[in-house]
Amino acid sequence: MIQEENRREKQELKVGFVGNPNCGKTTLFNAYTGSKLKVANWPGVTVEKKEGAMKYHDHRFKLVDLPGIYSLTSYTMEEKLTRQFILDSEVDVIIDVADASALERNLYLTLQLIELGKPVILALNMMDIVEERGMEIDMHRLPEMLGIPCIPVSARKRTGLDILMHTVAHHKEKCRHNCIVHQHPNIGERKSHHAHEHHQELTMVYSDEIEDKIDILIDRMIEVGFECENYRWYALKLLEHDEEVMNLVSVDLTGIADESYEAEIIHQKYDFIDEIIEECLVNKSKKAALTDKVDRVVTHRIFGLPVFLGIMAVVFLLTFTVGDFLKGYFEVGLESFSNMVLNGLEAIGTSEMLTSLLVDGIIAGVGGILTFLPNIFILFLALAFLEDSGYMARVAYVMDGLMGKLGLSGRAFIPMILGFGCTVPAVMASRALEDMRDRRRTVLITPFMSCSARLPIYVLFSQMFFGRYAVLAAFSMYVIGLVIAVISAFVMNKFGNKGSMSPLLIELPEYKTPNKRTIFIYVWDKVKDYLTKAGTTIFLASIVIWFILNFGPQGMTEDMSQSFGAIFGKFISPILIPAGLGLWQVVVALISGLAAKEVVVSSFSVLYGIANISSRDGMDSLISSLSSQNFTAVNAYSFMLFCLLYTPCVATIAVVKRELKSTKWTIFSILFQLSVAYLVSVLFFQIGSFITNL
Amino acid sequence: MSMWPTLIIVLLLGVYSFFVVRKRVKEIKAGKFCSCGCSDCPSHCNCTKVNDTKKAKEKVKIFQE
């Protein structure tokens, strides 16, 4: 007894977590592993591998979180990895995590996993959602039909986790219990002489024709000396003309599988799944009719894109109108604070230089950015609403067709959507593209999607120069960014090496009322990030800008045009004259934008000594200063275009280098974006000036 | 005019700037280059050990004896 216990304790069980994407697999995995988590990449590929360890009573487990997959075909890297990992006996027990509220979709993978021949336990996750929807799953019938243990869990609410591990600990032997044999009706008139009684242990039994072929192929594999643990699985793969298996097993398929039976096998699996759903799912929630109706419009081949642009236009309208209303309070607050600090510093007798640094540098720079917080808040509130409602998944689907025509994988648009928030995670998300050429092209064009950091620039300049067309002017930046990205992708496809065309496989969730808590958490995180950025990066950048604008070769200078910043700006500015940006102040602002795009606005505050730049007075003062230097609306739009398209912030450059693993391509991307920005700004300014001078 | 208020404020600014720079350098060394938050970043798993450790620490229960 003691020996048995000791043996059990010493033996470490390897458990693999498999499941569809978004089924809560990683949440469940993390619930077990906690901080004992190791993250790496699978050897030779960029797919992430997570391993963890845990103890449950006397049992030690090594847990592996395998990539989210929909099936075990060999089309994608994730599928190949998972399949090979299981076949190589790297796992003792498989936990198949399924979204219980979408069981029909998840059971296909379950059946494939069972066919692999390893012990499988079905973890029915999201049971809390099943209960919310009034659905019920027959927990007696389901294990009977599948022939494996089925454990209801909720990773989010942490229920069922103990019993799941208990089941894993006691299920490591291959299951040998009585399953209900699933009989297919014979197709056509042909009757097989093949007896199916020995399929008592199988969950999935196919039609007589397929079963006959499986038996013949098994015999042929044994004849040629191929050895494996699961002949049936290999026979099925040969019938499906699975490329990897056909290369591995040299069996003559003539007369047995001259054509692929993949479609037939899939059909029969789904027939069985329909039976399971029919028998086991009570009060099945019908797909919302509303979802179908809405999708007919938003994913329409022709109307889908205009609908997307229309929705984004509404988002910007709200960002400007509601955001501006709230911004007024921030401006008043900033004004009061600035005056209070100024009076306070004068009262305690601080030096003029320090007073200037604090008031004209830090408060003007950081405060100027903080007044845009309401606009940022409204933007992210709207984006959170769209994301949580389920709409954003449709955008990727809609853009897939266009991306395909440009020679980009449909999956390339998903990183680009992320670019509306921040370019850094958007560039990192390009890792999901397996083909390096696709990835490179996506990394090159993603920065053209205007990130949220550029919003303060658009808000300020469009309000200053475009009056009641301010919303249109700002919105046009996003549209132009998208257009330039599309054109760049087209040109690269035309003249460069064509990338692979891996299809887009994306889940379109049902539309739902956004969850208040989810939206609150998302928006609060974004607000916190914005405030943190203001207090760190922008704070430091404001100090540096103040220094370079108040110190020159002769030391501290009253005249900013003699400062280091001015000297450098005047050296560069002639290059930008054709783009209407030939002011040294503009050059300084653009260069400071490399730290973070919001710093462009902070720079103008410091450059023109305006404490509250987004207030009406502040903007009037800035317009007056700029107009005296012949900076008009055409120049302003050219400036916004340049800010949209030129080199992104240094953080993005660093991530581009890391993702492309090439200094050459990183430099190319910087020069590429600068060139596009310059070209577009020059074109616009020249044509715009010509038209306005007519 | 007393220089003490100036010196104190400069010292405070210096200390704060030092901590900000130190924090950024630490993040960059750990692989996080951006100034964005990580909580809902879809690429946070591809980013840095720092963030994985932070996220892992937020997990509630570890099944251990």
Give the pLDDT confidence of A259-277 residue by residue, as tens digits: 889 889 999 999 999 999 9
Q: Which residue in the block uniquely carries the two structure tokens 């303060």?
A: A456
On whether the CB atoms of residues A578 and A684 are closer than 8 A, the answer is no
* DSSP conformational letter for A100: G
**B35/A533 touch (CB, cutoff 8 Å), yes or no:** yes
- Residues of A numbered 176-205 whose beta carbons fall under 8 angstroms of chain B's beta carbons: which are they? none
DSSP conformation letters of A51-93 = EEEEEETTEEEEEEEPPP-S--SSSSHHHHHHHHHHHTT--SE
Task: Confirm whether A333 is domain-assigned.
Answer: yes
Set of chain B residues whose Cβ sits within 8 Å of the Cβ of A162: 63
Q: Which amino acid is at A419?
A: G
Q: Does B41 touch chain A (CB under 8 A)?
A: yes
Residue A178, pLDDT > 50, answer no
Task: Confirm whether A57 is domain-assigned.
Answer: yes
**A54/B43 touch (CB, cutoff 8 Å), yes or no:** no
What pLDDT does A22 receive? Answer: 75
Share of chain A above pLDDT 90, in %: 36
Clarify whether residues A641 and A493 are in a common domain. Answer: yes
When mean pLDDT is compared across A119-123, A295-299, A358-362, the lowest value belongs to A295-299
Does A24 belong to an annotated binding site?
Answer: yes
Whole-angstrom Cα distance, residue A553 to residue A568?
Answer: 12
What pLDDT does A398 receive? Answer: 80
Q: What sections of A514-615 are H helices per DSSP?
A: 516-533, 539-550, 564-576, 584-592, 599-607
Clarify whether residues A260 and A403 are in a common domain. Answer: no
How confident is the model over A50-77, as a mean pLDDT?
A: 81
On whether the CB atoms of residues A369 and A601 are closer than 8 A, the answer is yes
Task: Confirm whether A487 is domain-assigned.
Answer: yes
Task: Confirm whether A590 is domain-assigned.
Answer: yes
pTM over 0.80: no
Residue A450, pLDDT > 70, answer yes
**Which of B10, B45, B55 has the CB atom closest to A354's CB atom?**
B10
Query: Of the ranges A285-289, A369-373, A403-407, which is most confident?
Result: A369-373
**A32/B62 touch (CB, cutoff 8 Å), yes or no:** yes
Clarify whether residues A492 and A549 are in a common domain. Answer: yes
On whether the CB atoms of residues A242 and A265 are closer than 8 A, the answer is no
- Residues of A numbered 3-42 whose beta carbons fall under 8 angstroms of chain B's beta carbons: which are they? 30-37, 39
What pLDDT does A191 receive? Answer: 42
**B36/A529 touch (CB, cutoff 8 Å), yes or no:** yes
Helix H or strand E segment including A49: strand A48-56
Residue of B43, B44, B50, B61 for testing the chain A interface, max A β-carbons within 10 Å: B43
Clarify whether residues A207 and A101 are in a common domain. Answer: no
When mean pLDDT is compared across A290-304, A312-326, A352-366, B36-50, the lowest value belongs to B36-50
Q: Which residue has the higher pLDDT, A409 or A631?
A: A631
**B57/A35 touch (CB, cutoff 8 Å), yes or no:** yes
Whole-angstrom Cα distance, residue A418 to residue A449?
Answer: 9
Q: Does B58 touch chain A (CB under 8 A)?
A: no
Q: Does A225 touch chain B (CB under 8 A)?
A: no
Residue B54, pLDDT > 60, answer no
Residue A519, pLDDT > 70, answer yes
Clarify whether residues A440 and A529 are in a common domain. Answer: yes
What pLDDT does A690 receive? Answer: 94
Q: Give the 3-state secondary structure of residue A39.
A: strand
Give the pLDDT confidence of A645-681 residue by residue, as tens digits: 999 998 899 889 888 888 999 999 999 999 999 999 9
Whole-angstrom Cα distance, residue A399 to residue A405?
Answer: 10
**B24/A651 touch (CB, cutoff 8 Å), yes or no:** no
* C-alpha distances out from residue A609 to A89, A258, A538, A605, Å: 69, 80, 17, 6
* Mean model confidence pLDDT for chain A: 84
Clarify whether residues A254 and A314 are in a common domain. Answer: no
Task: Confirm whether A434 is domain-assigned.
Answer: yes
**Which of B36, B61, B64 has the CB atom closest to A55's CB atom?**
B64
Q: Which residue has the higher pLDDT, A634 or A555?
A: A634
Set of chain B residues whose Cβ sits within 8 Å of the Cβ of A349: 1-2, 5
Q: Which residue has the higher pLDDT, A28 or A133?
A: A28
Whole-angstrom Cα distance, residue A385 to residue A379?
Answer: 10
Clarify whether residues A387 and A469 are in a common domain. Answer: yes
Q: What is the CATH number of the domain that holds A128?
A: 3.40.50.300
Whole-angstrom Cα distance, residue A367 to residue A627?
Answer: 24
Does A208 belong to an annotated binding site?
Answer: no
Clarify whether residues A320 and A407 are in a common domain. Answer: yes
Clarify whether residues A55 and A106 are in a common domain. Answer: yes
Domain that holds residue A634: 303-693
Clarify whether residues A235 and A330 are in a common domain. Answer: no
Clarify whether residues A254 and A309 are in a common domain. Answer: no
- Residues of A numbered 568-607 whose beta carbons fall under 8 angstroms of chain B's beta carbons: which are they? 596
User: Which of A136, A171, A206 is the last residue before a domain boundary?
Assistant: A171
Q: How many domains does chain A contain in total?
A: 3
How would residue A181 be classed by pLDDT, with cut points 50, 70 and 90?
very low
Other Cβ atoms less than 10 A from the Cβ of A472: the count is 15
Contacts of B50 (CB under 8 A, 6+ apart): B26, B27, B30, B31, B32
DSSP conformation letters of A286-316 = PPPHHHHHHHHHHT-TTTHHHHHHHHHHHHH
* DSSP conformational letter for A648: -
Clarify whether residues A231 and A368 are in a common domain. Answer: no
Task: Confirm whether A37 is domain-assigned.
Answer: yes
Q: What is the CATH number of the domain that holds A264?
A: 1.10.287.1770
Task: Confirm whether A581 is domain-assigned.
Answer: yes
Does A46 belong to an annotated binding site?
Answer: yes
Set of chain B residues whose Cβ sits within 8 Å of the Cβ of A50: 45
Taking CA–CA distances from B56, the nearest residue in chain A reads: A35
Give the pLDDT confidence of A562-585 residue by residue, as tens digits: 999 999 999 999 999 999 999 999
Share of chain A above pLDDT 70, in %: 88
Does A19 belong to an annotated binding site?
Answer: yes
Give the pLDDT confidence of A7-18 residue by residue, as tens digits: 554 568 889 999
What pLDDT does A462 receive? Answer: 94
Give the pLDDT confidence of A191-244 residue by residue, as tens digits: 444 445 555 567 888 888 899 999 999 999 999 998 888 889 999 999 998 888
Q: How many CB pairs under 8 A join A and B?
A: 127
User: Which of A136, A155, A171 is the last residue before a domain boundary?
Assistant: A171
- CA gyration radius, chain A: 31
Set of chain A residues whose Cβ sits within 8 Å of the Cβ of B33: 424, 650-652, 654-655, 658
Task: Confirm whether A400 is domain-assigned.
Answer: yes
Please give the ipTM for the structure prediction: 0.76
Give the pLDDT confidence of A396-435 residue by residue, as tens digits: 778 777 777 777 766 677 777 778 888 888 888 787 777 7
Cα dihedral A463, A469, A471, A475 in deg (nearest 10) = -110
